[in-house]
Amino acid sequence: MSERLTMQDPRTQYPQPPFPEQPQAAPGLARKMDPQADHGETSYTGSGRLAGRRALITGGDSGIGRAAAIAYAREGADVAISYLADEEADAAEVIALIEAEGRTAVALPGDVTDEGWCRTLVAQAVERLGGLDILVVNAGRQQTRPDVSELTSEDFDRTMKTNLYALHWIAQAAVPHLPAGGAVITTASVQAYDPSAHLLDYATTKAGIVAYTKALAKQLIEKGVRANVVAPGPFWTVLQPSGGQTQEAVQKFGSKSEIGRPGQPVEIAPVYVLLASQEGSYITGEVYGVTGGAGIA
């Protein structure tokens, strides 16, 4: 950790493009990425900021969800992660990392496009963690489609259900369990503010996440629960090579950011920690952009 905390030039702190072509079938596995993403496996050190908290994180097997899960465990939280069955190999690594911190880890494989499963996963998380204090709705679907004519109804429906419907179903099931001081954190994107032509459905859902969370925040503060949004820019996650970008775009991914490279998941994890912690007690209904300089408006 000391190496990461030393002063460094952010432009060269992590790998810069060009990257090799690396096609994967969706949903993809983080372990197959080149270069490997840094989720904080060896680079994140906690300081007890979430001691005794209980968190549910969707999409916790890889990418930003994995980074949040590792950080939460190292900050003292027990963590349940949801993921697709195809992502079991990645998820098993996260479960082991959580348990290595002496925390309770709960694995919840299933498909969040199924309303029944969304409600079941919350119930199982609450039962196995002994309650719920933090909800991170992060699981997402992103598939590039270069022309509107290629975006099928099936595509559109699955993206909507993964990114928006699941948010509603999971939040609806979880809210009754969240105590005063609890937190809801959702993952939007810079795409909500500056949508790419090839991500019509994805960008639409990310804008929806912002609106939904801001509205939810107004409801939840009446019971002492905060809700906020994190809006990442280009982050090096398995969403990208598994269909989220063309392989040509993967090779150059992040090069157009002001920093000149994609973000690594560990670089956004501290924002999820802040928004879940008591240190974020005056933060609600906000959108935190982590975009490498692009801004979110």
Residue numbers annotated as active site:
202
Order of all β-strands in the sheet with 287-290:
105-109, 78-83, 54-58, 134-137, 183-187, 226-232, 287-290
* Local structure of residue 238 (DSSP, 8 states): T
What tokens does 248 get? 């040509």
Instruction: Give dist(CA 14, CA 10) in Å, integer.
Output: 8
What tokens does 27 get? 């949903």
* Residue indicated by tokens 């969304």: 118
Q: Reply yes or no: is the peptide bond before residue 27 cis, omega within 30 of 0.
A: yes
DSSP H helices, the chain, are 2-5, 63-74, 88-100, 115-129, 153-160, 166-174, 200-220, 247-251, 269-276
